[in-house]
Structure 1
Amino acid sequence: MDLIPQVRLARSEGGSVELGDTARLEVGAGAESAARWIRGVLAPATGVDFLEAGTGGGGGAGNGDGVTVRLAVDAGLGPEAYRLGVEAGTVEIAGGDAAGVFWGVQTMRQLMAPAAFRRAPAPGAGPWTLPVCAVEDRPRFGWRGFMLDVARHFMPKDGVLRHLDLMAAHKLNVLHLHLTDDQGWRPEITRYPRLTEVGAWRERTKVGLRESPLWDERPHGGYYTQDDLREIVAYAAARHITVVPEIDIPGHSQAAIAAYPELGNTDVVDTAALPVLPEWGINPNVLAPTEAVLRFYENVLTELLDVFPGTFVHIGGDECPKEQWRASPTAQARIAELGVADEDGLQSALIRHFDRWLADRGRRLIGWDEILEGGLAEGAAVSSWQGYAGGIAAARAGHDVVMCPQSQVYLDWRQAEGPDEPVPIAHARTLEDVYRFEPVPAELTAAEAEHVIGTQANVWTEVLDSPRAVDYAVYPRLAALAEVAWSALPPPAERDWPDFEARMRTHYARLDALGVEYRPPGGPHPWQRRPGVPGRPLDGPPTIV
């Protein structure tokens, strides 16, 4: 059946069922979102009319050659689980909840020809058939994520919506949207209009990494209105995807400081002279640890909580150099006032403040693993990116963890050695490497492992300056991460790579139908290369901790 992600149980009975020109759709309570998706996406792609039961035409006795597609919720299956059965005249999909029904429908689409992934049927497409089969499936993790960085290179709204469609096709359910950084501020905040009037735009952009001598002298930027973001959230919710916004605090904040210089450490830096940063790398210009800055970001988050209804809010917390705080009388006085030991303790106090602030509003803070420095806030969860060590420490301390170590699932890292990879970063991480990634460290006990709530792949866009470049970096490797996150796979060394590689041959045709400009197995097309733009090769094997 060439399903990706791999299902837990699939039994082929032999033979096939043809949908016909029309099919009858019977929709039980709780399955309405899956029915809307069928009518809004699958019907236009195939040209099959999915008619509501009782309206005539399609499926059942006296309704021609079509079939009846029955969608229902069966809570006994469990969250996001589903059962799919295809036999003569009927397709039955039952989910443990609305999401489970939706994932079952995604499997139904994969059981059809790859052309079902187009937006309209090509001439001669069809007839549309499904194999007679039975499938039972459920996800391994509740957090199956993809982090998209729209701060470094802005992605217009339609591009984000497209990635949500691609995520749904792979049964991924968390879009971590990296909205702010030194190089750009992307969400509209009505109380602070300069965040987008000034902070959303930079005058020029480094081409390649920091060592590169090349510049793009065109201004770059863009932002999402709050209505844009509400649309993204609603579009995601219709696909049972939660959007987790990231607003960086206290590092990676120069775009905000460029818009409102009083946010910076004005007693040691002329913050009024700081632009939105046009290059990449760890940046010393960080937020001042004052009560005024806390109030500013409380007001920012207040508006965003109204836009993003999900439980988690990501506050960054990574790569915050402390030099300005060490030199700042204001920061040193703040350390004394709070009674913390040092600058790490000061950052921890800031994180704890927002942890309590979010908890008071029914939300949860999540941050990169540097939030462990100086002590972790009580209710915080950790995105473990520097390796496994931060996630292990957090899980052992009883904190929830999303595993996303850079050495395994940073999709901006190069996909092969050799001169043709565009703007090569770090070490090669192939499709097979991602397929063999294991999110739960063997060092954890069974009880500690329960705190690994999921995994995600991250794509940073410093050198990914177009949708085509993002496609190349992300796919097909995100398909492998989707299988790692969803499927009950054996330990990495025992995984059946030849089987996954064989299933991918069919999946490449689906990606082609979806218009994804993925990296071909044999290497980049000529137009996917970036000759003359240097990357940053690293010597020796990666350090995995």
Structure 2
Amino acid sequence: MPDNPRNSPVSLLPRPGEVTADGSEGLALDAATRISADQAAGPTLTWLRRELGAATGLPLSIGHEQDARIRLSVDPTAGLGEEGYRLIVDTEGAIVVGHDPAGVFYGAQTLRQLLPADAYRDAPVGEASDRWKLPSVRVTDAPRFRWRGVMLDIARHFQPKREILRFIDLLALHKLNVLHLHLSDDQGWRVEIRRYPKLTEKGSWRTESQVGMTKPPVFDGRPHGGFLTQDDIREIVAYAAERHVMVVPEIDVPGHSQAAIHAYPELGEVGEIPVGTRWGIFDEVLAVTDHVLDFYKNVFDELIELFPSPYVHVGGDECPKTQWKNSESAQQRIREEGLADEDELQSWFIRRLGDHLTERGRRLLGWDEILEGGLAPGATVLSWRGEEGGIAAARAGHDVVMAPTATSYLDYKQSESPDEPVPVGTLLRVEDVYAGDPVPSDLTEKEAEHVLGAQVNLWTEHIDTPRRLDYMVFPRLSAFAEKVWSTHERDYAEFEPRLVHHLGRLDAAGVEYRPMDGPRPWHSRPGVQGWG
């Protein structure tokens, strides 16, 4: 990379593997510029024409390979590696070659970053500009990890389809490729299941929500709810696939299930309960009867029809065992199955669902608590309680996705300032996200092969608007994106100027990110009344 990325025409994020820029004149885009693509790169051509056409006001017509100035192609023999690409720009044109369609798409994303930041803003209708120039550059690039993900919790506070689509675009901008949707929890059920309509009729709304983390708790007195229809899900999945983002569904069991139990009280141990309004961990859990297992197998069958992802997340976290200790049906199940205790009972429950998913060609994914009591072969562990779960799983031969709270929880506070909104958890600054390595140092080289990658998690107890979501996610997500993409040794001093440059792109895209110099008192922001 150039010595001064802040002023360089090739200030890219995430940092590519190899970049050569000689400073010579590059390619100017104008009304005569044509784009071509082979069949495999066709979807990226459609995306690039749409995005750049809207920003530049140029027609960017489709041409033949011999007369096109921008050419896209897939070549698995080019030695680029999975999701890898090569981008070459000179006065004659711009060429993007990808190992696969994803590689072409990521090369096109890099091409877009070479343009002024306004390439991320729609131009006024009828306006075209002569300032759209690509610098002369050669880029060869491929990702470090194949799992580069974000978990978005839409159970605590619902995000409608339009916001999820916008979020997918922002993931794709950063070359991230997994959106893990947390679809159910104590406080709401967010996906239509046609066999069980009460899940959304009754379980998708709560009477009010806790505000902040005060004791005793304070509530807002406002109903909150919503859910995604199956048609919504199909649109989201298709939109994500066009941007090479895999959408992984999560239905959390056997804890965090108050909304489901409210809809169908026979699922629980104590009969009727309300949809949760407080944040935290609660004793209400699913019963471990055949009826409950059949119910959730049917739920997952519908999800499998909607989500082509090979992974299905079953939660498995924060499941208190109090009700099972006092439940005759749970204790009978322990005796019948020859289980040692309630921890093994949870493992038994998860294994039954894992077997069901395996029969249908899918892989079970769960939080690291699924290790307790033994883990089914083929299950993948998402390690959140530090690195320990990921280390134990990798050593046992299980694939792992790392998301330890210390470097991965984007709902955590970003400074110690009294102006920081809802200062939850421990301090997690941009530089903290950037510094943490996804591969635990305790793993051997062979064990580390089980680390598929990493993800950050965005829990939304205190994030109830898109504006709050932007503030908590960015620019920390930009730091994470480089960590999971780039193979370079990381140096925050080198990264920060490129991040500052990148903020111009986020500005143009309308992202209301947290300023680098920290939060400001709300009364100093013109037109802002609180944080709504």
1:134 is matched with 138
1:454 alignment partner, SS class: strand
Q: Does 1:486 align with 2:485?
A: yes
Following TM superposition, by how much is the alpha carbon of 1:29 offset from its aligned partner in structure 2, in angstroms? 2.5
Following TM superposition, by how much is the alpha carbon of 1:32 offset from its aligned partner in structure 2, in angstroms? 1.1
User: What amino acid does structure 1 have at the position aligned with 2:431?
Assistant: E
Alpha carbons 1:209, 1:462 under 8 Å: kept: no
Change (3 A) 1:532 1:234: closer
1:8 is matched with 17
1:91 is matched with 94
1:542 is matched with none
User: What amino acid does structure 1 have at the position aligned with 2:22?
Assistant: E
Alpha carbons 2:115, 2:132 under 8 Å: kept: yes
User: What amino acid does structure 2 have at the position aligned with 1:409?
Assistant: S
* Per-residue CA distance 1:266-304 (angstroms, 9 max, x = gap): xxx2x21x1100110001101001110000001111111
* Per-residue CA distance 1:197-234 (angstroms, 9 max, x = gap): 00000001101126364211110000000000000000
Following TM superposition, by how much is the alpha carbon of 1:521 offset from its aligned partner in structure 2, in angstroms? 0.8
Following TM superposition, by how much is the alpha carbon of 1:89 offset from its aligned partner in structure 2, in angstroms? 2.3
Structure 1 residue ranges without an equivalent (≥5): 62-66, 534-545
2:508 is matched with 513
* Per-residue CA distance 1:467-511 (angstroms, 9 max, x = gap): 111110000000000001100132xxxx32111110011101000
Task: Pick from 20, 28, 33 the counterpart of residue 43 of structure 2.
Answer: 33
- Which runs of structure 2 are paired with 1:377-456 in the superposition (5 Å)? 377-456=376-455
1:22 alignment partner, SS class: coil
2:227 is matched with 223
2:256 is matched with 252
Percent of paired sites with the same residue: 56
Separation of aligned partners in 1, 2:352 and 2:415 = 43
Task: Pick from 206, 211, 226 the counterpart of residue 210 of structure 2.
Answer: 206
Change (3 A) 1:306 1:184: same
1:108 is matched with 111
Alpha carbons 1:422, 1:531 under 8 Å: kept: no
Separation of aligned partners in 2, 1:499 and 1:10 = 15
- Which runs of structure 2 are paired with 1:146-545 in the superposition (5 Å)? 146-209=150-213, 211=215, 213-265=217-269, 269=270, 271-272=271-272, 274-490=273-489, 495-527=490-522
Alpha carbons 2:56, 2:128 under 8 Å: kept: no
1:537 is matched with none
User: What amino acid does structure 1 have at the position aligned with 2:320?
Assistant: P
2:456 alignment partner, SS class: strand
Separation of aligned partners in 1, 2:485 and 2:511 = 22
Alpha carbons 1:148, 1:175 under 8 Å: kept: yes
Following TM superposition, by how much is the alpha carbon of 1:125 offset from its aligned partner in structure 2, in angstroms? 5.0
Structure 2 residue ranges without an equivalent (≥5): 1-9
Change (3 A) 1:108 1:215: same
User: What amino acid does structure 1 have at the position aligned with 2:347?
Assistant: S
User: What amino acid does structure 1 have at the position aligned with 2:223?
Assistant: P
Alpha carbons 1:171, 1:482 under 8 Å: kept: yes
Alpha carbons 1:318, 1:368 under 8 Å: kept: yes
Separation of aligned partners in 2, 1:247 and 1:23 = 48
Following TM superposition, by how much is the alpha carbon of 1:124 offset from its aligned partner in structure 2, in angstroms? 7.5
Following TM superposition, by how much is the alpha carbon of 1:134 offset from its aligned partner in structure 2, in angstroms? 0.3
Change (3 A) 1:320 1:310: same
2:7 is matched with none
* Per-residue CA distance 1:129-185 (angstroms, 9 max, x = gap): 101010000000000001100000000110000000000000000000000000000
Change (3 A) 1:222 1:394: same
What's the TM-score once normalised by structure 1's chain length?
0.92
Matched length: 515
